[in-house]
């Protein structure tokens, strides 16, 4: 078994890169069904990363159904080459069309999730959403900590639907979107962007707290329209579920958002 593993570039998504590299070895047949992966220590040395990063990568591969592991024995490639769950390769999402498609899928799911959350949320859900917003307020806009709290907010909205499949799938898609944003580093950053983005999340939370399903849908659409602009997706090609971006945000707010994105506000 000869593997072609290289050190990975430093960044906030190291475990994703390590997992993608191992997945590529499996896809190209250098790691065959039943093969045992190198030890955690060996992989850490090969990739030039910490053992914690390797553990995260292994956990991800295990959740994707590509490997299985047994304490005391190690990790092994699954006997079937077909993963048991949906996977989205990190390299694939570096293509603009793939990222746009994923963003579109996220939008379709999250708008409906917001409506269901407004109908089904509990007090604990509302507190979790509020805590996530507090985490966003406390972190620099666009930082790893900000994006982590942002993801947590959307995760709690998904969980409030009381639909376990929707929750799991939305978290999966949202994590892939977050990783791609971190990798590309193309999110606009400014004080205006922080204020606008927090305002979008606050409107989503207010509608969900009020049990306003239609309001929650509208607030989520507005947020996704703004998010599409902030990550550089063209309006009409972006993930706008159900209506053009121009029909989602009010003219005044949308104009301010455009100026902020361009650094004019």
Going by C-alpha positions, the residue among 168, 157, 169, 172 that lies closest to residue 113 is 157
Gap between the Cα atoms of 67 and 62, Å rounded: 5
Q: Which residues pair with 75 in a beta bridge?
A: 69
> Does the CA dihedral 256-183-89-135 come out positive or negative?
negative
CB 140 within 8 A of CB 155: no
Q: What is the pLDDT along the chain (265 residues), one digit of tens a residue?
A: 555 555 545 554 788 888 888 988 888 888 888 899 999 999 999 999 999 999 988 988 887 788 888 878 889 998 765 555 556 665 555 666 777 888 888 889 999 999 999 999 999 999 999 999 999 999 998 888 888 899 899 999 999 999 988 888 888 787 777 766 665 555 555 678 889 999 999 999 999 999 999 999 999 999 998 888 887 775 444 434 433 333 333 333 444 434 443 443 3
Q: How far is it, in rounded angstroms, from Cα 237 to Cα 170?
A: 21
Name all domains of the chain by residue range, CATH numbers in brackets. 14-77 (1.10.10.10), 92-261 (1.20.120.530)
- Write down how long the chain is: 265
**The tokens of 115 are what?**
């409506």
């Amino acid at each position: 078994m000869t593997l072609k593993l290289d050190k990975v570039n430093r960044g906030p998504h190291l475990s994703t890169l390590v997992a993608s590299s191992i997945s590529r070895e499996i896809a190209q047949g250098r790691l065959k069904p039943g093969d045992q992966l190198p030890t955690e220590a060996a992989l850490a040395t090969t990739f030039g990363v910490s053992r914690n990063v390797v553990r995260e990568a292994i956990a991800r591969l295990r959740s994707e159904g590509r490997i299985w592991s047994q304490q005391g024995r190690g990790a092994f490639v699954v006997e079937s080459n077909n993963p048991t769950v949906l996977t989205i390769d990190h390299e694939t999402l570096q293509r603009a069309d793939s990222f746009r498609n994923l963003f579109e899928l996220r939008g379709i799911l999250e708008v409906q999730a917001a409506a269901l959350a407004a109908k089904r949320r509990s007090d604990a859900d509302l507190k979790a959403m509020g805590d996530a917003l507090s985490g966003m307020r406390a972190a620099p806009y666009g930082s790893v900590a900000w994006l982590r709290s942002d993801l947590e907010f959307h995760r709690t909205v998904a969980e409030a639907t009381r639909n376990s499949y929707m929750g799991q799938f939305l978290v999966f898609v949202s994590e892939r979107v977050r990783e791609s944003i971190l990798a590309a580093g193309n999110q606009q950053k400014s004080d205006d962007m922080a204020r606008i983005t927090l305002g979008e999340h606050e409107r989503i939370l207010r509608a969900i707290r009020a049990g306003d399903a239609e309001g929650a849908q509208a607030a989520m659409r507005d947020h996704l329209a703004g998010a599409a602009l902030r990550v550089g997706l063209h309006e009409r090609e972006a993930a706008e579920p159900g209506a053009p971006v121009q029909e989602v945000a009010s003219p005044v707010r949308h104009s301010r958002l455009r100026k902020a994105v361009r650094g004019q506000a």
